[in-house]
């Protein structure tokens, strides 16, 4: 199943350019079958998601959130499969976030780990999330190469994501899961069990931006 794990939309994420409707339309055109909406420090509610799902029945729309783990905002983590606001209150306590996520079967992903820092504290001292981003629209080349080495050393699964902020950046970096995602939490066993492939595969060139 063609799946996006990391999506920002305007206006819920101030850095996003396009509305959720514009981004979902671009994803549907590009053949995506599932998407996680992961705004900065904001979760979509059940009611909002139900309405959105009714409008766009051809793609599965799942909840998540991107947390800044420190006040400087230099380390980010996705929590996938949840609409629970409590994650936002816990954002500066990575240990508590990871413990809650394990209990509730929410997948945690360290985002763009080498985008702004040499080595994120979380990789130096733990606790470790379930997985780590490899390549995204904002994390390629040297940064991705360092993520590859860091993940191998720690035996962490790597995922590709779009880190989508605009419709033009869909269809470049994503996952193909071996099994269909039925429920928001289905992504965790799929990633932990390695039942997915990276698109593009390791080392291969992504499609140019704007080709959706
Ligand atoms: Zn981020
Ligand atoms: Zn992001």
State the ligand closest to the CA atom of 68. Answer: 1
Predicted pLDDT at 145: 96
Rounded CA separation 147/164 (Å): 19
Q: Residue 138: which of 190, 197, 192, 206 has the closest Cα?
A: 206
Residues 56-94 pLDDT 10s: 999 999 999 999 999 888 899 999 999 999 999 999 999
Predicted pLDDT at 153: 95
Calculate how far, in angstroms, residue 132's C-alpha sits from the geometric centre of ligand 1: 12
pTM over 0.95: yes
Calculate how far, in angstroms, residue 7's C-alpha sits from the geometric centre of ligand 2: 7
Calculate how far, in angstroms, residue 33's C-alpha sits from the geometric centre of ligand 2: 20
Beta strands in 11-59, from DSSP E residues, in sequence order: 34-37
The residue ranking higher by pLDDT, 53 or 122, is: 53
Omega into 127 within 30° of 0, i.e. cis? Answer: yes
Residues 120-175 pLDDT 10s: 888 988 899 999 999 999 999 999 999 999 999 999 999 999 999 999 999 999 99
Would you tell me how many other CB atoms lie within 10 Å of the CB of residue 54? 8
Q: Report the chain's mean pLDDT, rounded to a whole number.
A: 96
The domains located in the chain, with CATH, are 2-199 (3.20.20.140)
């Amino acid at each position: 199943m063609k799946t996006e794990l990391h999506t920002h939309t305007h206006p819920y994420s101030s850095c996003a350019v396009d509305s959720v409707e514009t981004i979902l339309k671009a994803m549907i055109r590009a053949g995506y079958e599932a998407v996680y909406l992961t705004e900065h420090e904001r979760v979509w509610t059940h009611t909002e998601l139900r309405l959105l799902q009714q409008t766009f029945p051809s793609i599965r729309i799942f909840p998540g959130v991107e947390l800044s783990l420190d006040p400087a905002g230099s380390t980010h983590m996705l929590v996938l499969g949840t609409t629970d606001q409590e994650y936002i209150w816990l954002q500066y306590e990575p240990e508590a976030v990871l413990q809650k996520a394990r209990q509730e079967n929410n997948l945690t992903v360290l985002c763009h780990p080498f985008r702004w820092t040499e080595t994120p504290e979380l990789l130096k001292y733990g606790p470790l999330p379930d997985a780590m981003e490899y390549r995204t629209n904002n994390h390629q080349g040297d940064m991705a190469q360092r993520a590859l080495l860091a993940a191998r050393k720690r035996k962490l699964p790597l995922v590709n994501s779009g880190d989508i902020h605009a419709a033009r950046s869909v269809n470049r970096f994503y996952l193909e899961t071996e099994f269909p995602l039925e429920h928001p939490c289905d992504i965790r066993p799929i990633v932990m069990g390695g039942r997915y492939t990276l698109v593009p595969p390791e080392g291969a060139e992504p499609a140019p931006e704007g080709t959706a």
